[in-house]
Structures are given as C-alpha cells and as structure tokens.
Amino acid sequence: MFVLVNLKAYPCDPVAVAEAAATVADDAGVRVAVAPQTAHLEAVAATGVETWAQDVAAVDHGSHTGAPLAEAAADAGAAGTLLNHSERRRTLADVDGAVRAAERAGLETVVCANNPRQIAAVSALEPDAVAVEPPELIGTGTPVSRADPEVVTDSVDAAAAVGDAPVLCGAGISTGDDLAAAADLGAEGVLLASGVAKADDPRAALEALVEPLR
C-alpha cells in the first residue's frame, strides 16, 4: 500500500511531519510520501522522505508567471506530483498536459477524480495512478470506504477497463481500519491530509494508520 500525505496549506510543521513519515516508513516497511507546499519541497526532501508536489502546471519553460513548473519541483527534490485534486480542479486537457509535463521532468503522477466515471476519463491519460475522492467527504473523517464502498470498487473496475493505473482511495481516511477497508475494496493506496497534518502527534497518527500493514 502507498500512503500519500497531502499537507495542503494546513498550519503544520512540514519538516516535523516529514521526519515522522520517514521514520514510520522505515520502521513499518511501508511506502509513505509527503506532499508539502511548493516552498517547502526542498526542506521536506532533505529529511529523506519520499516527497511529492501538490500540483504542477501544464507548461514548459517560458513565460508562465505563478505556474508550478514540473522541472522546478523535480529540482527541489520531488519524486512525484498530485494532479486535479478536488480543491484544484483542471480541465481534462490541462490534466493531460500536466501529466505530460510531469513525465518530461521524471515525476510520478497521481490524478484525482470525484467518481468512477471521472476515474475512467483520467485513467485514459495514462498517469501512474489515480485517486478517487468524493469531494463531499474530504476532511470529514468519514471515509468513502464506509460511506459508499461501491465508489471505490467501481473506480477500481473503471480504471482496469481503461488501463493498468492502480487506484488510491481518498476522502476521510484517517485510521488503520480505513486503510484496511480501502485495501479490501481493491485500492492499492490511500491519500489523506487532515488525519496526519492536523494531528497533535503526526507520528502516532501514521503509526496507527499503517498498523494493519505490519
């Protein structure tokens, strides 16, 4: 299972979370990555944790003020990037361009989508993985695996019908039970944010999350 922690713009210490994630990943033998704000990519990468950008733009070098360049993220230590998160939606054409930009820079990609139909559409763009996240459940603490498990199973089927991109389960993930349920439904990873970024003890939260994988 792949655990991808999105720090969003939460007022947490990104280096402290990254250090906790690196320790838990090593201790549990689980792949854990952290996606901080762009300005914190280099500091997070310096901890040794697998580091992801929260977004890159569908642009190449040139006149693109404010656009997060894929090569700049890679230079700062990012190994991959989230794309099309529900809080930063893109047109399908822009998602396609961003996937291609990430490929050009050697970044792995996870493309988010709201439901199985959208999972099928973004899977056709050949990202490295896709993540299903019903927006109404994001940040609620109610995981989609419990609220509507068919969203996960149908997304797994939709992705498989188009290509071979593994499916991550997001929205409301915070506990080891949530991770285990996602795995039982066919997901190959989880995408979460507040369950770790807003936790009083991020390391303890991550240890509890990956406990079913030990």
Residues 169/191, Cβ–Cβ less than 8 Å? yes
Residues 137/171, Cβ–Cβ less than 8 Å? yes
- Provide the pLDDT for residue 144: 75
Q: What is the mean pLDDT of the chain?
A: 95
Backbone angles phi, psi at 30, to 5 degrees: -115, 140
For residues 42 and 20, what is the distance between their CA atoms, to the nearest angstrom? Answer: 16
Helix axes 202-210, 14-28, angle to 10 degrees: 30
Interval 151-165: pLDDT, tens: 999 999 999 999 999
Interval 3-40: pLDDT, tens: 999 999 999 999 999 999 999 999 999 999 999 999 99
Q: Which residues pair with 191 in a beta bridge?
A: 4, 170
Told to judge if 188 belongs to the known catalytic residues of this protein, a careful annotator would answer no
Which DSSP string do the residues of 106-132 spell out, in sequence order?
A: T-EEEEEESSHHHHHHHHTT--SEEEE
According to CATH, what is the number of the domain 2-213? 3.20.20.70
The residue annotated as part of the active site, out of 61, 133, 150, 188, is 133
Reduced to 3 states, what is the DSSP secondary structure of residue 66? coil
Residues 131/155, Cβ–Cβ less than 8 Å? no
pLDDT band at 91 (very low <50, low <70, confident <90, very high): very high
For residues 8 and 162, what is the distance between their CA atoms, to the nearest angstrom? Answer: 30
The residue annotated as part of the active site, out of 19, 40, 50, 85, is 85
pLDDT band at 79 (very low <50, low <70, confident <90, very high): very high
Interval 94-148: pLDDT, tens: 999 999 999 999 999 999 999 999 999 999 999 999 999 887 777 667 777 777 8
Told to judge if 133 belongs to the known catalytic residues of this protein, a careful annotator would answer yes
Residues 6+ apart with CB under 8 A from 125: 92, 95, 96, 99, 111
